[in-house]
Amino acid sequence: MRDLLSPILAATAPASAMTWLSDTIRDQETSFQKRPFYYAFSGVSRHFDKRGSVEVTDEQSQALDGQVPGFSVKGWDQFRLARVILLLTLGKQDKATFLETIAALLNTADLREQAAIYSAFPLLPHQADLVEAAVDGLRSNIIDIFDSLALQNPFPATHFSKEEWNQMVLKAIFISRPIYKIFGIESRSNADLADGVSYLAHERWAAGRKLTPEAWRNCAAHVSDGIVADLEHLLSEGDPIDHEAAALVIVRDGSDRVRHLQERIEAGLDAISGGSLTWERLGEKLEFPATLNGSPAQA
């Protein structure tokens, strides 16, 4: 994996920083020592640009996904990627040393360092032993920490129990994170999660608030009578994006129990069949709404 990550970092990082990283890795692989590794992990901030973002080509993204499905470095900064590369060296050590060092790093890490550690989990060995730390990390109220585990990270989908997965997704909905960036969001959907989404929606509606339309993606394969009633509410009381979400659920279900709703989503049916309406496109639209002049808000 290092042979894929290092060129991505080198494309934007100073040559002197890459030389320092290469020398540090060589020394640690020759003779691993915990204290120098701690210093190097923290010392990344002295060599790389804290404002420096990494640039990833489509070919590089595909290569990373080919090695670890669902893994992505899009949106990362140089600090995070350099630290993840260092952690690959730690992954070569014996199990006891590896787990002790990871635990020590998490106990002393600042926010950026914690995000790097959690981002590296799908690349590291002994992953079953990291689940408890991941679940604990998701309790954080710091968005960057939560995102490093929940978004563009295949570790939860691979290792979390149903209960742990459901708690993560419901928290993502509650704190308004982009659901389309959660790897495994459809493959890990389940009836209990669908019920949880419905319950949360009713709480929001009772308070005069709304639920992110993306949340209904978790219900598309688990449409109960209660979810049908929720879809009817979305089509009657919701906004146009709620209607789009309802259309995606109805088309996915396709059963007789939602047949009476299909005539109310004709525009959505056309958009879905034409490929202009998907859960990913809906998620992107919610994450980066257009400004008044039509430009993406992220710009």
* Tens of pLDDT, residues 15-24: 999 999 999 9
With H, G, I as helix, E, B as strand and everything else as coil, classify residue 281: helix
Question: How many H-runs (helices) and E-runs (strands) does the chain carry?
Answer: 16, 0
SS3 state at 263: helix
Distance in angstroms (rounded) separating the CA atoms of residues 145 and 107: 14
Please, are residues 137 and 114 in contact by the beta-carbon 8 Å criterion?
A: yes
Q: What is the pLDDT of residue 295?
A: 38
The answer on pLDDT for 49 being more than 90 is no
Comparing C-alpha atoms, which of 141, 220, 221, 136 is closest to residue 174? 141
Q: Domain boundaries in the chain? A: 2-126, 192-287
CA distance 143 to 140: 8
Please calculate the CA angle 237-240-246 and round it to the nearest 5 degrees.
75
Model confidence band, residue 51 (pLDDT cutoffs 50, 70, 90)? confident
CA angle 207, 210, 216 (to 5 degrees): 130
Report the alpha-carbon distance of residue 97 to residue 32 in Å, rounded: 10
Non-local CB neighbours of 13 within 8 Å, separated by 6+ positions = 48, 49, 52, 78, 82
The dihedral through the CA atoms of 161, 162, 164, 165 has a sign that is positive
Q: Please, are residues 126 and 118 in contact by the beta-carbon 8 Å criterion?
A: no
Which neighbouring-strand residues pair with 290? 296
Percent of the residues in the chain that have a pLDDT greater than 90, as a whole number: 89
Q: What is the pLDDT of residue 290?
A: 52
Binning pLDDT at 50, 70 and 90, where does residue 288 land? confident
Question: Whose structure tokens read 């992110």?
Answer: 212
Find the DSSP H helices in the chain.
2-10, 15-30, 34-43, 58-67, 78-90, 95-108, 111-120, 131-137, 143-150, 155-159, 162-174, 191-206, 225-237, 240-253, 266-274, 279-287
Judge whether 5 and 73 are in contact, CB under 8 Å. yes
pLDDT digits (tens, 9 = 90+) for 101-118: 999 999 999 999 999 999
Note the pTM of the prediction, 2 decimals: 0.92
Q: Is 71 left (phi over 0), alpha (psi -120 to 50) or beta?
A: beta
Burial class (CB in 10 A: 0-12, 13-18, 19+), 161: exposed
* pLDDT average, residue stretch 37-63: 93
Q: Residue 176 has what DSSP assignment?
A: T
